[in-house]
């Protein structure tokens, strides 16, 4: 498919809108007056800006699969959300809706954080106007607008707990027992990475100590700790204990509000590891079914059964874990609306404190996509997500955080649901970019947040464990930037 841009430079925005309708198409951009890249390719979308005496007009003309459609939107400065790239996106949306018959639930909103935008609009214009902007200017459907509104309001209590000197800690364990077919994450099979583990754990402990020193020097206050990955419980009980001992020895854990470890894959969980987590002051864990259908589990490469998930969940309960999350995925290959409804009902019957409903995303690096087989169940995913929302709401869960991923089926969202008072603080802080997240381990990204402003700066750790191990000394150098950032952006809020 050829995407012509004329009279503007909104390449990224134009591609984003095209991707809503044609998620897997190969899109080639054509320069304004340059040659057509492939004259034989009949599919083309032209996104054009023309300036008239009355202001700018954005026009989209699309000819795809033998059908044509076009639409124009005039920039309207009176509608704050309908200027420049949004006016262009609105024209593209209208034309491509007509052409394909697809009505994207999130309208022209392509960002990953709809609830963050909703919170911003509520703060600026009030709740009623924010809702109106979502629906009329951004063309978000009423059900999704309501979801964003509920999440935005639910986040307020957690965000109010955060102060300018607050921070959270993320610890990356990029190892898994096997690779799930839908995963594009840089995660290494624990069996293949075995020889790296001793050095990885040793250096991670060193990095944790350094990070604790930075927190102390800057006078930051640690609010939440989150071990993610990968699957942290892929590590042995001994290695987990070593890491947790380090965290407890060097960080102010008694004053931390929440300490989560993802025990995502039931096949990595046993009583010994759960006892280690408990002894290490971990209060919240995830045990992720993804689906309660054995057939679907098999098709996505998870080597555990639905019964294993239930067994490990009940084991964690018996050992005293009273804050457990379960992740589910809508749209998995081989799943059906009936099957997914049964998964949702099963999860509700087990009564975890959090249930997170993800929509399958067709990431380029996932074997689900590279394998060339059937990839997901796009046609029925909206129905699955709708059922989950209805059932969770009815069962007393409320949506408390959300995000969107590119290439998710049906352009749908991921939503965390919680029982009253059980929202995961870390998820909210991370998604709303409330405060600094210091991160340790391979693939981790430190996200520095200006204490009293919107500025965000990232520092990247090495992506792969072997790089992390061989170039560890360079990380210490990179981390000097943390102190400089606070010096430049709000030293008055810290001791440093």
Residue 443 Cβ vs ligand SF4, minimum distance, rounded to whole Å: 10
Stretch that binds ligand SF4, among 81-89, 179-187, 391-399, 450-458 (CB under 6 A): 179-187
Q: Work out which of 73, 183, 214, 306 binds ligand SF4, going by CB under 6 A.
A: 183
Q: Work out which of 94, 166, 172, 187 binds ligand SF4, going by CB under 6 A.
A: 187
Residue 435 Cβ vs ligand SF4, minimum distance, rounded to whole Å: 25
Asked if 179 touches ligand SF4 (CB under 6 A), the answer is yes
Beta bridge partners of residue 52, listed in sequence order = 55
Residue 438 Cβ vs ligand SF4, minimum distance, rounded to whole Å: 21
Residue 174 Cβ vs ligand SF4, minimum distance, rounded to whole Å: 8
Indicate the residue among 176 and 392 with the shorter CB distance to ligand SF4.
Answer: 176
Three-state DSSP string of the chain: CEEEEECCCCHHHHHHHHHHHCCCCCCEEECCCCCCCCCCCCCEEEEEEEEECCEEEEEEEEEECCEEEEEEEECCCCCCCCCCHHHHHHHHHHHHHHHHCCCCCCCCCCCCCHHHHHHHHHHHHCHHHHHHHHHHHCCCCHHHHHHHHHHHHHHHHHHHCCCCCEEEEEEEECEECCCCCCCCCCCEECCCCHHHHHHHHHHHHHHHHHHHHHHHHHCCEEEEEEEEECCHHHCCHHHHHHHHHHHHHHCCHHHCCEEEEECCCHHHCCHHHHHHHHHCCCCEEECCCECCCHHHHHHCCCCCCHHHHHHHHHHHHHCCCCCEEEEEEECCCCCCHHHHHHHHHHHHHHCCCEEEEEECECCCCCHHHHCCCCCCCHHHHHHHHHHHHHHHHHCCCEEEEEEECCCEHHHCEEEEEECCCCCCHHHHHHHHCCCEEEEECCCCEEEEECCCCCCEEEEECCCCHHHHHHCHHHHHHHCHHHHHHHHHHHHHHCCC
Asked if 176 touches ligand SF4 (CB under 6 A), the answer is yes
Q: Return the sign of the alpha-carbon dihedral for residues 131, 137, 143, 147.
A: negative
Asked if 430 touches ligand SF4 (CB under 6 A), the answer is no
Indicate the residue among 14 and 325 with the shorter CB distance to ligand SF4.
Answer: 325
Asked if 304 touches ligand SF4 (CB under 6 A), the answer is no
Asked if 264 touches ligand SF4 (CB under 6 A), the answer is yes
* Listed residue (364, 350, 427, 414) closest to 384, CA to CA: 414
Indicate the residue among 262 and 432 with the shorter CB distance to ligand SF4.
Answer: 262
Residue 169 Cβ vs ligand SF4, minimum distance, rounded to whole Å: 19
Indicate the residue among 140 and 180 with the shorter CB distance to ligand SF4.
Answer: 180
Residue 295 Cβ vs ligand SF4, minimum distance, rounded to whole Å: 18
Binders of ligand SF4: how many residues, by CB under 6 A?
11
Indicate the residue among 185 and 250 with the shorter CB distance to ligand SF4.
Answer: 185
Indicate the residue among 179 and 216 with the shorter CB distance to ligand SF4.
Answer: 179
Asked if 465 touches ligand SF4 (CB under 6 A), the answer is no
Asked if 185 touches ligand SF4 (CB under 6 A), the answer is yes
Q: Work out which of 93, 131, 180, 326 binds ligand SF4, going by CB under 6 A.
A: 180
Residue 365 Cβ vs ligand SF4, minimum distance, rounded to whole Å: 11
Residue 377 Cβ vs ligand SF4, minimum distance, rounded to whole Å: 17
Indicate the residue among 231 and 414 with the shorter CB distance to ligand SF4.
Answer: 231
Residue 316 Cβ vs ligand SF4, minimum distance, rounded to whole Å: 17
* Cβ burial, residue 87 (10 Å; 0-12/13-18/19+): buried
Stretch that binds ligand SF4, among 44-52, 72-80, 226-234, 352-360 (CB under 6 A): 226-234
Indicate the residue among 100 and 236 with the shorter CB distance to ligand SF4.
Answer: 236
Residue 121 Cβ vs ligand SF4, minimum distance, rounded to whole Å: 33
Binding residues for ligand SF4 restricted to 229-258, rule: CB under 6 A: 229-231
* Residues within the interface to ligand SF4 (CB under 6 A): 176, 179-180, 183, 185, 187, 229-231, 264-265
């Amino acid at each position: 498919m050829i995407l012509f841009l004329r009279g503007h430079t909104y390449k990224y925005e134009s591609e984003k809108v095209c991707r809503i309708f044609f998620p897997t198409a190969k899109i080639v951009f054509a320069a304004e007056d340059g040659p057509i890249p492939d004259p034989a390719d009949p599919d083309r979308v032209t996104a054009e800006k023309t300036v008239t005496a009355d202001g700018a007009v954005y026009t989209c003309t699309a000819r795809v699969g033998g059908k044509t459609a076009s639409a124009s939107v005039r920039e309207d400065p009176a509608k704050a959300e309908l200027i420049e790239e949004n006016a262009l996106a609105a024209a593209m949306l209208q034309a491509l809706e007509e052409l394909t018959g697809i009505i994207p639930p999130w309208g022209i909103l392509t960002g990953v954080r709809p609830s963050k935008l909703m919170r911003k609009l509520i703060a600026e214009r009030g709740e009623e106007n924010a809702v109106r902007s979502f629906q009329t200017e951004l063309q978000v459907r009423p059900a999704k607008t309501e979801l964003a509104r509920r999440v935005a309001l639910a986040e307020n209590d957690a965000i109010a707990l955060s102060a300018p000197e607050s921070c959270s800690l993320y610890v990356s364990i990029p190892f898994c027992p096997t690779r799930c077919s839908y995963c594009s994450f840089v995660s290494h099979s624990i069996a293949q990475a075995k020889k790296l583990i001793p050095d990885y754990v040793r250096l991670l402990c060193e990095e944790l100590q350094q990070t604790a020193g930075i927190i102390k020097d800057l006078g930051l206050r640690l609010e939440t700790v989150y071990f993610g990955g990968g699957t942290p419980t892929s590590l042995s009980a001994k290695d987990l204990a070593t890491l947790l001992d380090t965290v407890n020895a060097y960080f102010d854990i008694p004053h931390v509000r929440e300490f989560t470890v993802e025990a995502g894959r039931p096949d990595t969980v046993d009583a010994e590891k759960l006892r280690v987590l408990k002894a290490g002051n971990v209060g919240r864990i995830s045990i992720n079914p993804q689906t309660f259908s054995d057939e679907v589990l098999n098709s996505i490469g998870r080597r555990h059964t639905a019964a294993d998930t239930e067994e490990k969940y009940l084991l964690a309960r018996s050992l005293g874990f009273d804050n457990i999350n379960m992740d589910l995925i809508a749209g998995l290959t081989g799943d059906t609306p009936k099957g997914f409804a049964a998964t949702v009902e099963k999860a509700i019957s087990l009564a975890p404190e959090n249930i997170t409903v993800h929509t399958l995303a067709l990431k380029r690096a996932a074997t689900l996509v590279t394998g060339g087989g059937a990839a997901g169940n796009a046609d029925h995913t909206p129905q699955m997500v709708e059922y989950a929302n209805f059932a969770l709401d009815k069962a007393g869960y409320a949506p408390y955080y959300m995000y969107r991923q590119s290439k998710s089926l049906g352009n749908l969202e991921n939503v965390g649901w919680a029982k009253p008072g059980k929202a995961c603080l870390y998820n909210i802080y991370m998604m709303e970019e409330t405060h600094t997240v210091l991160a340790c381990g391979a693939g981790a990204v430190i996200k520095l947040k200006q204490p009293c402003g919107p500025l965000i700066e990232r520092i990247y750790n090495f992506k792969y464990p072997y790089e992390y191990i061989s170039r560890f000394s360079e990380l210490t150098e990179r981390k000097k930037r943390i102190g400089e950032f606070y010096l430049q952006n709000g030293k008055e809020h810290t001791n440093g």
